A and B are shown apart, each in its own frame.
Chain A
Amino acid sequence: MTEQTQAVENSSRFGGTSVSQIFLGIFGHFIVKRFLFFIFVVWLASTVIFIIPRLSGQDPVKEKLLLEAQRGGAMQTGLDAMAKKYQKRFGLDQPMWVQYTNFLKDLARLDLGVSIAFFPRTVNEIVFESLMWTLGLMGTVTVIAFILGTLAGAVLGWPRRPGWVQYVFMPLLTLAAIPQYLLAMILIFIFAFKLGWLPLFGGYSVATLPELSFSFVIDVLRHAVLPAFAILFSVVGFWAIGMRGMMINTQGEDYMIQADAKGLKGSRIFMRYAVRNALLPQVTGLALVLGTIVTGQVLVERVFSYPGIGDILFQAIRLSDFFVIRGIVIVIILGIAGATFLLDVLYPLLDPRIKVRS
């Protein structure tokens, strides 16, 4: 955060009128700095993604065609001509730097290319269709887990909590040590297979058509319950452990002793003095674990055959559809970098000390 205080300082110091000073003022501002960093991350990540296939010296299009030829058997002849045609179609016959600038141009327009396995369909179509499922599930679960976990951790780190709390929550915290997809398997076995309360897999029943009706919504929700809980259980533990540590750290602080000495009510000290101060590092934590939440969910979706990003990724890997895999990786990195940028921008609003210090 020191960078940010410095940035705020700079912008106030360069508050003059000359063009160069305004220029400095704008680029010294931490939001602009953060945005430039966001662009830098996306650029570097996409460059890495561009380089990796070139390093291995393999041609994904030709590989795919060879695979198809082996399966089909009939179209062995003219394979090279076909590969050439495809290479032209995907621009793979041009010099490296042309390919690179084309790749960046396409990326800037958010055009992720065309799928090899489902040929006429674009990667954008495929990815965004499944992204709705993933975001719907993950967004809700992350918010619920953050609130529940933070509350549980706050109570656990509070010295005047009732004694039974520890015995209820502590076993829950150990769930954080269990990978989400294993929890998913246990939940499927108990609630879908043994008890039969909830569906075994999928995002909606096979027999129904996706439409905006009451019964379909209920169907979708029923399918979302188990994946949601699989993610929820393990993520709640993560938040609770972090929050508990922060709450314990606030105990020795001067403002806590002062609040106590003033004779404030316990609930007020708890919410306004302890929780409020312990909450801030949790927000930073959110930025750090976003990546693990996303990849965790990708695997949970695989276990449930949930029609989100994870399932599409698995299908694409199975069919060795390189462009879809690349598109998914880019979308996820964009999402994580964007969310981190937003959190960075919002952080000074939550923590007034960052501005006061300048």
Chain B
Amino acid sequence: MTESVTTPDSSAPMESGGWSQFNEERVRPIKRYALRNPSLIWGLALMSFLLLFVGIGHLVWDTEQFRPLSTPTRLAPTLSHEMMKSGEPTGEVRAFPFGTDTAGRDLLAVAILGTPLTLRIGLIAGFVSIAFGTLAAFVAAYYRGWIDAAIRSVVDVGLAMPGLLILILIRINIGRELTVDEMGFALGLVGWVFPARTIRSQVLVMREAAYVELSRLSGTSGMGIIFKEMLPNLIPYITASLVGSVAGAILASIGLEAIGLGNFSTPTLGMTIFFNIQFSSITLGMWWWWLPPLVAIVIVFLGLFLISSGLDEWSNPRLRKRV
């Protein structure tokens, strides 16, 4: 990646060389990297496709129809449905491209609203768990001693307890439905142990490195070394674990919702799955009900999986030569 480094004399590439120089220095290396790392590009493409669907959907569709009883029930996908009122056609023709469910929700509106809500849970949980995990990992691995022993035993115990079960207990005892943000936060608080463990082992290796030693000898404080020397070098690795945490949190949130502990008034993908199981849409043959959330979830997971393996390649240069 030496091409991407700007030479000192061209400090303002946009002014001196215009687009061609910018293209030469910034865009071409990205393109070349993209060709070498197809899984990252495919992953990003899948996620952008989903976001595009959501964005356009919000602009052109009436998303208020996610509420129950806002449409006729059990409609298969149709583009021209004649609305009925007490058995008489009213003359109004409406389109339901994704069909409607047993409770009279427009499933296109549900898909448009639910996808970003589920992603939101995942992102909140991912950032919370990576923030806590990174902090714990650095403190444990840099200072060692009793603080490391304490953090390590908490992490080991946390790994032995499936987060989903702890969340079920918490949710049962709170006794009310959690909002989307609260659920994301709770998932993050349960999910920080795994990143803490993996990042800790990376820091342990890094603290023996010569440049860290040098920085310590020249009198940099502990926090200074952590934030100025170690953290920047671990950014690729932390990004990769962030993606993993987001995927894990989405998986757990859908699990929590599928088992009946979600928020019944928000149309997340997990709640749609829950209603599907509850009203056995498969045995009713209502394929249009369960297919969209399923496809959305598969795209999310496939996208995150591809992004994380692409980031893996970025963070771990040993993988680049092979495969």
Contact = CB atoms under 8 A, between A and B. Distances in A.
A299 B174 CA distance: 22
Contact of B322 (A58, A174, A251): A251
Contact of A41 (B156, B297, B301): B156
A299 B164 CA distance: 11
A303 B273 CA distance: 10
A337 interface: yes
Contact of A179 (B160, B162, B251): B251
6 closest A-B pairs by CB: A177-B305, A291-B162, A56-B173, A295-B164, A177-B301, A329-B165
Interface string B223-264: 000000000000000000000000000011011001111000
Interface string B158-174: 01111011101110111
A212 interface: no
A160 to B, nearest CB: 14
B157 A179 contact: no
B294 to A, nearest CB: 5
Contacts, number: 128
Given A326-B169, A329-B168, A329-B169, A302 B259 contact: yes
B287 interface: yes
A325 B169 CA distance: 8
B276 interface: yes
Contact of A302 (B162, B174, B258): B258
B35 interface: no
Contacts of A337: 160
Contacts of A326: 169
B18 interface: no
B153 interface: yes
Given A179-B254, A181-B258, A189-B282, A37 B156 contact: yes
Contacts of A52: 166, 169-170, 173
Interface of B: 153, 156-157, 159-162, 164-166, 168-170, 172-175, 251-252, 254-255, 258-261, 273, 276-277, 282-283, 285, 287, 290, 294, 297-298, 301-302, 304-305, 322-323
Contacts of B174: 56
A346 interface: no
Given A40-B153, A174-B305, A302-B259, A193 B282 contact: yes
Interface stretch (A90-98, A120-128, A315-323): A315-323
Nearest to B302: A177
Contact of B258 (A45, A174, A299): A299
Contact of A55 (B164, B173, B175, B304): B173
B276 A185 contact: yes
A58 B171 CA distance: 12
Nearest to A316: B172
8 contacts: A45-B160, A56-B175, A176-B305, A178-B298, A179-B255, A189-B290, A318-B260, A332-B162
B259 A317 contact: yes
Contacts of B255: 179, 181, 295, 298-299
A325 B157 contact: no
A333 B165 contact: yes
Contact of A291 (B160, B168, B259, B304): B160
Interface of A: 37, 40-41, 44-45, 48-49, 52-53, 55-56, 58, 60, 63, 174, 176-179, 181-182, 185-186, 188-189, 192-193, 200, 248, 251, 288, 291-292, 294-295, 298-299, 302-303, 310, 313-314, 317-318, 320, 322, 325-326, 328-329, 332-333, 336-337, 340
Given A41-B157, A48-B166, 16 more contacts: A41-B156, A41-B160, A44-B157, A45-B157, A48-B161, A53-B173, A60-B173, A177-B305, A178-B297, A178-B298, A179-B297, A182-B298, A295-B252, A310-B259, A329-B166, A329-B168
B159 A291 contact: yes
Contacts of B287: 189
Contact of A340 (B160, B251, B254): B160
B283 A317 contact: no
A325 B171 CA distance: 11
B302 A182 contact: no
Given A177-B305, A179-B301, A45 B161 contact: yes
A358 to B, nearest CB: 21
A49 B255 CA distance: 20
Contacts of B251: 179
B104 to A, nearest CB: 22
B13 to A, nearest CB: 39
Contact of B169 (A49, A181, A193, A314): A49
Contact of A193 (B252, B285, B294, B297): B285
A310 B161 CA distance: 16
Nearest to B252: A295
B297 A182 contact: yes
Nearest to A37: B156
Contact of A63 (B175, B261, B322): B175
B160 A333 contact: yes
B4 to A, nearest CB: 28
A53 B285 CA distance: 41
Contacts of A328: 165
A336 B322 contact: no
A313 B165 CA distance: 10
Contacts of B172: 317, 320, 322, 325
A206 B233 CA distance: 60
Contacts of B304: 177
Nearest to B251: A179
Contacts of B160: 41, 45, 291, 333, 336-337, 340
A186 B260 CA distance: 20
Contacts of A40: 153, 157
Nearest to B322: A248
A302 B257 CA distance: 12
A288 B251 CA distance: 17
Nearest to B173: A56
